[in-house]
Amino acid sequence: MSEYKIASRYAKALFDKAKELKVLDTIKADMELLKKMTEESRDFRIFLNSPLYKKAVKQNSLDALFSSSHELTKGMYKLMVDKFRETYIPAMGKAFIQMYNKDNNIVDVYVESALGLEKKVLNEIEAFVKKETEAKSVVLHTSVDKEIMGGVTIEFEGKIFDNTVLTQLKNIKKELQIA
């Protein structure tokens, strides 16, 4: 079974229980903390994936790291460690956030540009995405890549709007080779 399927099953169980207990926002905050820790700490990722640590050590460490988390979250981590699924904890957190966003009509938008974008441009992108998706809220993730030379790439819900100079140059090169 793929990592996504395994992680999604745990995320769905956590999501359903959190919704039942009316603690979705609290659990989402816990998953955001998990996501941040996973992205920022290489040691944390290695720890979760390492077969050298016993179950008890991993469980105690997760309890200490996430001591401020909701009991439901800690219970999910414990269950996953007990079932030797701790390597899927970061993917489960990501899947949970996706479920939460879908349930709350929130769209993640990834914007890549050659230079940092002004607030006005970001607001226009946000308005465009809201119009396209009828989303209640938009979460912008921006990055800068000088290699694209200019323009912007906007990605959301599987759609990509690529208006970069690099892509335009590639398209011109293709046309010249055909002619």
Q: What's the pTM value of the predicted model, to 2 decimals?
A: 0.79
Model confidence pLDDT, tens digit, residues 56-106:
999 999 999 999 999 999 999 999 999 999 999 999 999 999 999 999 999
Model confidence pLDDT, tens digit, residues 83-92:
999 999 999 9
Element (H, E) at 33: helix 24-40
How open is the CA angle 128-132-134, to the nearest 5 degrees?
Answer: 105
Report residue 15's pLDDT band, with 50, 70 and 90 as the boundaries. very high
Q: Is the dihedral of CA 66, 69, 75, 76 positive or negative?
A: negative
CB 111 within 8 A of CB 152: yes
Lowest mean pLDDT segment, chosen from 34-38, 110-114, 175-179: 175-179
